Structure 1
Amino acid sequence: MPLPIRHAPTALLLALASSTAMADGEPLYSGAMTGDWGGLRHQLEEDGVRFTGDYTGETAYNANGGLRRSTRYSQNIKLGVQFDLSKLYGWENGGRVQLTINDRRGNSASEDLVGNRLPIQENYGGLYTRLTELSYERTLFTPALNVKLGYMAMGNDLGGLDSGILCNFMNAGFCGHPLNMSGGSGWTNYPNAHLGARVKYDLSRSWQLRVAAFNVDPQSNGNSSRAWHLGPKHTTGTVLPVELVYKPQGELPGEYKLGYYYDSSDVKRIGSSKEVSGRSGHYLLAEQAVWNDAGSPGRSLHVFGQYSASSEAASPFTKWYGAGVVLYKPFEGRPRDTVALGYGRAVPNPRSRDLLEDAAFNAGQPFPNIDNAERLIELSYGYQATPWLILRPDVQYIIEPGAFSGKDIDNALVFGLQVKATF
C-alpha cells in the first residue's frame, strides 16, 4: 500500500510564510518558507552559519498500460548547515564545512505500477534517514583551484549539468546524471555518499577541468545499517572521473561537459563466471540557450542533449540518449515558470538480453517480442506558486517498459505531480 500523504495545516504554513523579515523594503529569505526567523537567520549567516532545507513530494498515477492502475507517492526531506570558517574564526581562506542529512519515504510507481527501469519518481530509493554529506571545501594556492574532500555524493559535482535544467523533470532518467553510469560502475546516485576528493581548476573564464577519486563500496549503497557510517564496509576499488567543462559566455550562454570515468573494481562479466578487471565509461552533456526574447527579459528557450556509454562487459545498461527543450518564463505574468519536454532512450546490454532469452528457453517459456530499449517522453510545467513553493504537473509516456526485464508490458501513461518547498 502507498504511504498516505500528510499535509501541514494551512494556518501553520501561513504563519511560517509571514515570518519573513524585511530589510530596506525588500523581504529577506523570501525564497524560504520559514523566512528570516525574526532576524536570527540573517545574523547567523553573517556570522558564518547558513541553514538550508527543502521538501520534495512526488505523486504518480498510472492511467494506462504498465502493470496496474493506481497511485504511488514518495518524498525526500533534506536539511543542511554550512559553516564558513573564515567568518566563524577570522581565518583567511578558511573554507567551508557542509553537513547534510536526507530522509526518504514512500513507494515506487516504477516497481509497483509500471515495471520499467527508469524511475518515474526521481526521489525514490533508500527509504531511511541518512548522512548525505560531511565535507570540507576551499580554494588552494590560487582562486582558480578549488578542492573538496570528505563524505559526499559524486553527482553533486560531476556527471550532471550545473544549471539544474534537467531537474525540470520528475523522472530520474533526466534529473541527475545518466543512470547507466551507476548501473555499470561504482558511480553512485544521490543521496548515496562515499569517501572521496574532488578538484576543480579554472583553465580560463570559460573552461574548467574537474577530477575526483571516490571509494567504491557496493555493500553500503542503500543499506540502512550504514546510514551514519562514513567508513566503507567492503571496499572493492576506486572510481576515478575526469571532466572537461566549457561554459560559453555571452547573450546565449551554454554548458558542455565531456567526461570519462574508470572503476578499478573486479566484477563478474555478464553471462560468464569470469571477472573483468576494471570498468569504464564516458559521457557528453550539453545545454545551450538558443533564443532570448528581447522584449521580455528572462524569457528564453534552452535545448539539452545527453549521451553516455558504460562497460559492455559488466553493465546491464550500456547506453543512454536524452534530448529536450525547456522554456523559461512561458507567460509574461509568470516570470519563474517553466515548460519542459524531454525524450530519453535507455539501451539494455545485449548480453543481459541473451541471458533472459536463455532462461525463458530453458524454462520452456516463450520470450516476448520486445524492442531493444526503454524509451521515455516527458512533459512538465513548473508553476512557481510562491517564492518558496513549486508545483510541477507532469506527464510521462513510457515505451517498452519491459525492455530490461524481458517482459511483455504495455506502454504506460503516467500522470504526476511534484511539489518542492524550500524551508
Structure 2
Amino acid sequence: MPGVLRFTPFFLVLTSTASLADDNTLTGDWGGLRHQLEADGITFTGDYSGETAYNAHGGLHRSARYSQNLKLGVQFDLSKLYGLANGGKVQLTINDRRGNSASEDLVGNRLPIQENYGGLYTRLTELSYERNLSPALNLKLGYMAMGNDLGGLDSGILCNFMNAGFCGHPLNMSGGSGWTNYPNAHLGVRVKYDLTPDWQLRLAAFNVDPESNGNSSRAWHLGPKHTTGTVVPVELVYKLRGELPGEYKLGYYYDSSNAKRIGSSAEVAGRGGHYLLVDQAVWNDPASPERSLHAFGQYSASSKAASPFTKWYGAGLVLYKPFTNRPRDTVALGYGRAVANPRSREVLEDAALDAGQPFPNLDSAEQLVELSYGYQATAWLNLRPDVQYIVEPGAFSGNDIKDALVFGLQVKATF
C-alpha cells in the first residue's frame, strides 16, 4: 500500500494515504500516543490558515497577496494529571504570522481582506488557567486574547468568511478602545455565570497596554509595558433551543484609559461602546438534520470622541450542507457597512484644505459584500474560494479609490 511520511513533534509515522484522508487531523494519532496523552490529561492542538487574495478590479493595483497564521497549543487537564476532583485546566498557545496585506498593498481599504494578517512574528498568545468554581460559575484568568470568549458568536458562523470585518468581532470595538484582536493578548480575568440553562452572563477585566500591541519586542512578555487603564466588557448571552436554534448576545464595554479626542489636542477620559450579535436558524431540512440555513446580524457602536469608525452593521446567510453528498460544506453570503467617524473626516478635509488640495466626494462608509464556499476536503482540511466586493475603499483614508473586486482562497488545516 502506498504511504506518506507525516511529521509530529515526537516521531515520524508511516501511514497510508487512505488513512490520511480519514484522520481528523493531518498528523493523526501519532501511533496511539496522542490518544494516550489525552487520556492522561495532555491535549496537543495545532492549525494553519493561509489566505491568498487577488485584486482583479479597482483599488490601487492588480496583483495578489498571501498571508498565513500558524497556531500551536497544549492543554493540561490538572484533574487527570494529578487525580484532583476539580483541578481545572492550563492552556498554552503560541502563534506565528507571516505574509503581506491585500488591503494595504492592493486596495487601500480599512476592513482587512485577509483576517489572518497582522503582527507578523512569533508570539505567546495564551497562558491561562480555567476552572469551574461551581456548576454555574466558570473562571478563567491569565494572559489571553479578549475575543476568545467575548464579542463574537460562539457558533463560529462569522468565520465562514475571510474578511476580518465579519470573522471575529466588530472591528470598531478594538479601533476605539483597549479591546484587542487575536493574537494580541493581555493580562485579564473572565467569568461566565449560567443564570438559567438558556441565559448566561459574562464579565471580564483586561489590562490595556497599547504599546505592546503588534510590538515584536513584547512577544514573550506577559507583563504590560505601559498600562493606560482597564477595559471591562459585560455580555448577556441567550441560547435558543429547539428545531431552529439561535444565539443572541447583547454587550457593553468600557475602557478607563484616557485617549486623544479626534480633531483636538484634548483628551477624553474613558471610552466605551455596545453591540448586538445574532445567529438564528431560519430553516432546516427535515430529511437531513445537518442541512440548515442560518441568518446572522451584527451591530456595534463605539465612542465618537476617539474611534476611527463609530458604527458597524453586518448581516448575512450561511447554508450548511448545501449538497446531499457534501455534509460539512457551507455557502456564505454577507454584507457589512463600516461608518467612518465624522470627526475623522473633518480632520482629513481640513488637511486637504490647508494643502490647497480638493477633497473627493466620498461616501461616509466603507461597504463590503462577500460570498464564499467552504469545501471540507477532509476532516482536517478546508478550502474556501472567496469573492469580495468593496465599495468606497477610500472612505477612511479620504482617497478617491475605485470600488474593488477581490478573488481569494482560504486554506485551513488542523494538525
Equivalent of residue 399 in structure 1, options 373, 391, 395: 391
- Give yes or no for the alignment of 1:117 onto 2:125: no
Going from structure 1 to structure 2, the CA distance change for 1:28 and 1:334 (only over 3 Å counts) comes to: closer
Question: Post-superposition shift, 1:317?
Answer: 1.1
CA deviation map 1:279-323 (0-9, x unaligned): 010000000001010112200000000000000001111100000
Write the distance in 1 (CA, Å) between the matches of 2:21 and 2:102.
38
Question: Could you say which residue in structure 2 is the equivalent of 1:4?
Answer: none
Equivalents in 2 of 1:175, 1:57: separation in Å? 15
Give the root-mean-square deviation of aligned CA atoms. Answer: 1.8
The AA in structure 1 aligned to 2:237 is: V
Match of 1:128 in 2: 121
Within 5 Å, give how 1:89-238 maps onto structure 2. Answer: 89-140=82-133, 142-238=134-230
Within the alignment, does 1:390 sit opposite 2:406 as a pair?
A: no
1:351 correspondence with 2:343: yes
Taking the aligned partners of 2:229 and 2:71, their CA distance within structure 1 comes to 29
Aligned position for 1:77: 70
Identical positions, percent = 83
* Equivalent pair of 2:55/2:62 in contact (CA under 8 Å): yes
Residue among 230, 244, 257 paired with 2:249: 257
Pair 50,19 (structure 1): closer, same or farther in 2 beyond 3 Å: farther
1:17 touches 1:33 (CA, 8 Å); kept in 2?
no
Provide, for residues 129-158 of structure 1, a one-character-per-residue CA deviation record: whole Å limited to 9, x for no partner: 000000000000x21100000000000000
CA 1:262–1:19 in 2, change beyond 3 Å: closer, same or farther? farther
Q: Does 1:326 align with 2:297?
A: no
**Distance in 1 separating the partners of 2:200 and 2:17:** 38
Question: Residue 32 of structure 1 aligns with which residue?
Answer: 25
Conserved in 1, the CA contact under 8 Å of 2:22 and 2:378?
no
Contact 1:28 1:36 in 2 (8 A): no
- State the SS of the aligned residue for 2:375: strand
Q: Quick one: which amino acid aligns to residue 205 of structure 1?
A: P
Evaluate the alpha carbon distance shift between residue 65 and residue 21 of structure 1 in structure 2; reply closer, same or farther with a 3 A threshold. Answer: closer
1:259-278 to 2 correspondence within 5 Å?
259-278=251-270
Give CA deviations for 1:21-53 in whole Å, capped at 9, x if unaligned: 99xxxx999220111000000000000000000
What secondary structure does 2:288 align onto?
Answer: coil
Q: TM-score, normalized by length of structure 2?
A: 0.96
2:363 and 2:309 mapped to 1: Cα distance?
14
Q: Which amino acid aligns with 1:380?
A: S
Q: Which residue does 1:53 correspond to in 2?
A: 46
**Shift in CA distance, 185/236, structure 1 to aligned 2, threshold 3 Å:** same
Unaligned runs of 5+ in 2: none
**CA–CA distance in 1 between the matches of 2:325 and 2:150?**
35
The aligned amino acid for 1:134 is L
Find the counterpart in structure 2 of residue 87 from structure 1: 80
Determine the C-alpha separation between the residues in 1 that align with 2:347 and 2:164: 26
Question: C-alpha displacement at 1:19, in angstroms?
Answer: 6.7
Shift of 1:386: 0.6
Unmatched tracts of structure 1, length 5 or more: 1-9
Alignment of 1:298-337 (within 5 A): 298-337=290-329
Distance across 1 between alignment mates of 2:21 and 2:196: 34
SS of 2:360's equivalent in the other structure is coil
Q: Deviations over 1:190-232 (max 9, x none)?
A: 0000000000000011000000000000000000000000000
Deviations 1:226-271 (A, max 9, x none): 0000000000000000000000111111000000000000011001
17 and 248 in structure 1: CA distance in 2 versus 1, 3 angstrom threshold: farther
Residue identity in the other structure for 1:291:
W
CA distance in 2, matches of 1:238, 1:337: 41
Matched residue SS, 1:354: helix
The amino acid that maps onto 1:264 is S
Counterpart residue type for residue 331 of structure 1: F
Contact 1:357-1:367 within 8 A present in 2 as well? yes
The number of equivalent residue pairs is: 409
One-letter amino acid of the structure 1 residue matched with residue 106 of structure 2: L
Superposition deviation, residue 87 in structure 1 = 0.1
Aligned 8 A contact 1:288 1:302 in 2? yes
- 1:352 counterpart letter in structure 2: S
State how 1:402-413 maps to structure 2 within 5 Å: 402-413=394-405
Shift of 1:17: 9.1
Whole-angstrom CA distance in 1 between matches of 2:360 and 2:330: 39
Q: Secondary structure at the match of 1:334?
A: coil
TM-score (norm. length: structure 1): 0.94
Q: For residues 17 and 183 of structure 2, what CA distance do their matches in structure 1 show?
A: 30
Give distance in 2, aligned partners of 1:389 and 1:404: 36
